[in-house]
């Protein structure tokens, strides 16, 4: 079975497709709509968006217009990072659901442990309040899985200590050259699945000499090497593209990087 048709299984039994389409920095309107429609046409069944991306309406419309049954598509959205209250989280979720025009969401995440304009700010109490609202929505059947994004070990422990449900997912920046070992170790300890956003290093890795040479060796693209690396690390990569050729190419990762070559990629950070 091709990777694009394969799934991981979250701790609550929910299946999540191994590759998703990322829509960060994809403009609302035709760009977001067409990207999602093209992806779905070419086998994607995992779409990642967020209220903060300002493209939920276009994403939802494309999913509806695809003609694919809603229950065959795994859709993620996120609570904006500055919302750190119980009621605020409930209201934001309703807004997201209305924008997407859905009856439920497959995965809802706290977008970050701190507001994006105050990176590093300690918001433990607010994160607990927001997450407790998500627990309610999960119990009410409005969300199939709940989780966090950009949470480091201290933030993860805060949620686990003060909340009832261990997050099912932590979505983090993860790509060749970025050391996320401490966060991944914490996630593994608590059986929290890791999604990898920006698996191409926001495009910076595509010209990396080591990756380019390895792509030539395997007769694939640098992007395919980056995506395959994340898969072999047991994460779900979320590559973003608005071009049909690249959207399709990002699914053609049914090859295996050798153990020795994975080790080489593990050390790309020294040259990054």
**DSSP state letters, 39-91:** HHHTT--EEE--GGGT-HHHHHHHHHHT---GGGSEEEEEE-TT--SHHHHHH
| Residues 6 or more apart whose Cβ sits within 8 Å of residue 74 | 15, 16, 17, 20, 45, 46, 47, 106, 107
State pTM to two decimals.
0.95
What would the two tokens of residue 271 be? 């040259």
Q: Which residue positions in the chain have pLDDT lower than 70?
A: 270-272
Q: Is the dihedral of CA 84, 90, 91, 96 positive or negative?
A: positive
What would the two tokens of residue 171 be? 């979505």
Reference 21, options 12, 53, 11; nearest CA is 53
- pLDDT (0 to 100) of residue 269: 75
SS3 (DSSP) at 123: coil
Q: What is the dihedral of CA 251, 51, 179, 228, to 10 degrees?
A: 0
Residues with a known catalytic role = 53
176/225 Cα distance (integer angstroms): 9
Is 82 marked within a binding site?
Answer: no
Query: Could you give the percent of the chain with pLDDT greater than 90?
Result: 98
CATH 3.20.20.100 describes domain 3-267: yes
- The DSSP letter of residue 271 is G
- pLDDT (0 to 100) of residue 118: 93
- pLDDT (0 to 100) of residue 51: 97
Contact (CB, 8 A) for 236 and 196: yes
């Amino acid at each position: 079975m091709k990777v694009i048709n394969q799934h991981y299984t979250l701790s609550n039994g929910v299946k999540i497709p191994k590759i998703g389409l990322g829509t960060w920095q994809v403009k609302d309107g035709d760009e977001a709509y067409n990207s999602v429609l093209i992806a779905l046409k070419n086998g994607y069944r995992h779409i990642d968006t967020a209220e903060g991306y300002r493209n939920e309406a276009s994403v939802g419309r494309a999913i509806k217009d695809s003609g694919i049954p809603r229950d065959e598509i795994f859709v993620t959205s996120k609570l904006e990072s500055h919302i750190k209250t119980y009621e605020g989280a409930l209201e934001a979720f309703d807004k997201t659901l209305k924008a997407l025009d859905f009856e439920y969401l497959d995965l809802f995440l706290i977008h970050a442990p701190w507001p994006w304009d105050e990176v590093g700010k300690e918001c433990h109490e607010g994160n607990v309040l927001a997450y407790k609202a998500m627990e309610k929505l999960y119990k009410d059947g409005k969300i199939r899985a709940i989780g966090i994004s950009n949470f480091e070990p201290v933030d993860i422990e805060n949620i686990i200590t003060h909340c009832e449900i261990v997050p099912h997912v932590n979505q983090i920046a993860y790509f060749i050259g970025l050391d996320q070992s401490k966060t991944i170790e914490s996630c593994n300890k608590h059986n929290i699945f890791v999604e990898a956003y920006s698996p191409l290093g926001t495009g910076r890795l595509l010209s990396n000499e080591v990756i380019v040479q390895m792509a030539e060796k395997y007769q694939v693209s640098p992007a395919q090497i980056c995506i395959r690396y994340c898969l072999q690390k047991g994460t779900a990569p979320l590559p973003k593209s608005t071009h049909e050729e690249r959207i399709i190419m990002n699914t053609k990762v049914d090859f295996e990087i050798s153990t020795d070559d994975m080790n080489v990629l593990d050390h790309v950070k020294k040259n990054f």
